[in-house]
Structure 1
Amino acid sequence: MASVEPEARKERRDKKDKKDKKRKHSETVADADEVEVVAEKKKKKDKKRKSTDGADAEAVMVVDTDGVKDEDDDKKVVAKVEEDDKKVVAKIEDPLAALVPFANPLAGEKDGKKVMKSVKKAAKHKHITRGVKETVKAIRKSPMSTPATLGSDVLPHGIVIIAADISPMDVISHIPVLCEDHNIPYIFVPNRGELGSAGSTKRPTSVVMITEGLRGAKKDAVDKEGEKEFQETYKELHRTAMKLGQTIMV
């Protein structure tokens, strides 16, 4: 009986040892899996951080010329981003949908620059009338002229420049009809602010009229060379108006 008891005790101890070994093996495998998962997460995080750092370095390289990143480089990066944002906003703030539906002929970007230069020279040489009221009065007082054509040497008494971003449209809707009654060419431009600036005024302007020449005391006091230069500008503006008038926009 005494010899049997140690055998049973030994068997129980062996079973316990096997269970302990099995439990330790399971815990070791679980720990290994956990370590592997953590390592994989760390690897992904490091990869993402390197990618972000690379993008930042690329942004700095755009303006970094001395190879050293400093505060000026950061300011240049911020300035470049702000400039791009302003360009996007400027494009959004100038939609063609805001123009009056009867804006025809409408000067495009290239012709619009020519028109604005002509308005600036007209303002410099005092050949300009600003505002709806004054322009309508000048059109009605202008002598009736024969209709001019492209390439013709006959110049009209005046040329009217109208801003197409006016609201309500009734403010300028009668001007094109009035111009046609007096055979005066007219051109629409997209921005009234630019028209006012070109006409040497700080306020946005709905319409201006550029006249061919001066009369009376003003004509005697004008610079002849400057007047000759303006006449060339006026002829060029007339050709632009005639060219745009041949295109019908739908």
Structure 2
Amino acid sequence: MANDKSESELREKKEKKDKKRKHEEVAADGDDAAAAAKKEKKKKRKSEVVDVDDTIVTDAPAATSTAVVAVKDEEDEKKDLKMVIPVSALVPFANPLADEKQQKKVLKGVKRAAKHKSLKRGVKEVVKAIRKSPASNPSLAPTTLPNGIVILAADISPMDVISHIPVLCEDHGIPYIFVPSRAELGAAGSTKRPTSVVMCTPGQGKGAKEGEKAEWEEGFGELHKVALKLGQHVLV
């Protein structure tokens, strides 16, 4: 009987151990499944983050490109802006007055004159140079180069500052041209301030390179052609 009891006890113990093992195996399988599910969720989250980051990276160049285009548009608008001076701001005797195309040629000639040291600036200096030049009649020989070419700004106030210069130029046979802006005339003459009048002379001044003499003679000749063309339409 004792043997039977011990055998039954051993069987019961084995059964209990087997049940515990099965329970532990089931629990372990459940834990593994849960862990695997968590890993999959993490992977999905990472993939979503990567996708979002990719979209941000791909969209970034487009945003920067639009910003660059906007900046270029602003620069183009600034370049297109032009100094517009109303006619009422111009002196009534501004004749002949260069138009936009002719003004570019005139200001280009003034820049060349400043480069070759052949530019007189300001009312006093220009009047002095005109009075020193010999009197001549340009209508007798229009092809010959004059002693100078005077460029006046038409937006001068008071007008009495330059009103005597056109008459003085006519007495000495020196052609003159009006441009709308004194600011642009000053900038072309390499001065920081607006200039009311400048005078281009045919000869180079001190400090100019002798090798560029032919270049300035050509530039002065082109400026003389513009002055002659404008002089044909002078309103008396």
What TM-score comes out, normalization by structure 1 length?
0.62
Query: Which residue among 162, 167, 170 is the counterpart of 1:180?
Result: 170
Residue type at the aligned position of 2:232? Q
Matched residues in 2 for 1:171 and 1:78: separation?
A: 43
Is the contact between residue 145 and residue 157 of structure 1 (CA under 8 Å) also seen in structure 2? no
Partner-residue secondary structure (3-state), 1:137: helix
Matched residues in 1 for 2:85 and 2:80: separation?
A: 11
Matched residues in 2 for 1:248 and 1:144: separation?
A: 21
Is the contact between residue 212 and residue 231 of structure 1 (CA under 8 Å) also seen in structure 2? yes
Describe how 1:79-94 pairs up with structure 2 within 5 A: 80=73, 84=77, 90=82, 93-94=84-85
**CA shift digits 1:77-129 (9 cap, x unpaired):** 477369658957x46x4222211111111111111111111101100111010
- Identify if the C-alpha distance between structure 1 residues 87 and 226 changes in structure 2 by more than 3 Å, giving closer, same or farther: closer
Q: Residue 21 of structure 1 aligns with which residue?
A: none
Partner-residue secondary structure (3-state), 1:162: strand
1:116 pairs with 2:107: yes
Is the contact between residue 149 and residue 242 of structure 1 (CA under 8 Å) also seen in structure 2? no
- Identify if the C-alpha distance between structure 1 residues 149 and 237 changes in structure 2 by more than 3 Å, giving closer, same or farther: farther
Matched residues in 2 for 1:86 and 1:177: separation?
A: 38
Q: Residue 213 of structure 2 aligns with which residue?
A: 227
Residue type at the aligned position of 1:108? D
Partner-residue secondary structure (3-state), 1:143: coil
Describe how 1:11-90 pairs up with structure 2 within 5 A: 70=63, 73=66, 76-77=69-70, 80=73, 84=77, 90=82
Query: Which residue among 110, 122, 125 is the counterpart of 1:134?
Result: 125
Matched residues in 1 for 2:143 and 2:164: separation?
A: 28
Is the contact between residue 116 and residue 204 of structure 2 (CA under 8 Å) also seen in structure 1? no
- Identify if the C-alpha distance between structure 1 residues 238 and 77 changes in structure 2 by more than 3 Å, giving closer, same or farther: same
Describe how 1:158-169 pairs up with structure 2 within 5 A: 158-169=148-159
Q: Residue 201 of structure 1 aligns with which residue?
A: 191
What do you get for the CA RMSD once the two structures are aligned? 2.8
Matched residues in 1 for 2:93 and 2:146: separation?
A: 22
- Identify if the C-alpha distance between structure 1 residues 239 and 97 changes in structure 2 by more than 3 Å, giving closer, same or farther: same
Residue type at the aligned position of 1:129? K
Matched residues in 1 for 2:64 and 2:120: separation?
A: 51
Over the matched positions of the two proteins, sequence identity in percent amounts to: 60
1:102 pairs with 2:102: no
| Structure 1 residue 161: Cα displacement | 0.4
Query: Which residue among 190, 200, 222 is the counterpart of 1:236?
Result: 222
| Structure 1 residue 246: Cα displacement | 0.6
- Identify if the C-alpha distance between structure 1 residues 83 and 125 changes in structure 2 by more than 3 Å, giving closer, same or farther: closer
- The worse-fitting range, judged by mean Cα deviation, of 66-75 and 229-238 is 66-75
**CA shift digits 1:166-224 (9 cap, x unpaired):** 11111111110111111110000111111111111111000001111158xx4xx6533
What TM-score comes out, normalization by structure 2 length?
0.66
* 5+ residue gaps, structure 1: 1-65
- Identify if the C-alpha distance between structure 1 residues 138 and 107 changes in structure 2 by more than 3 Å, giving closer, same or farther: same
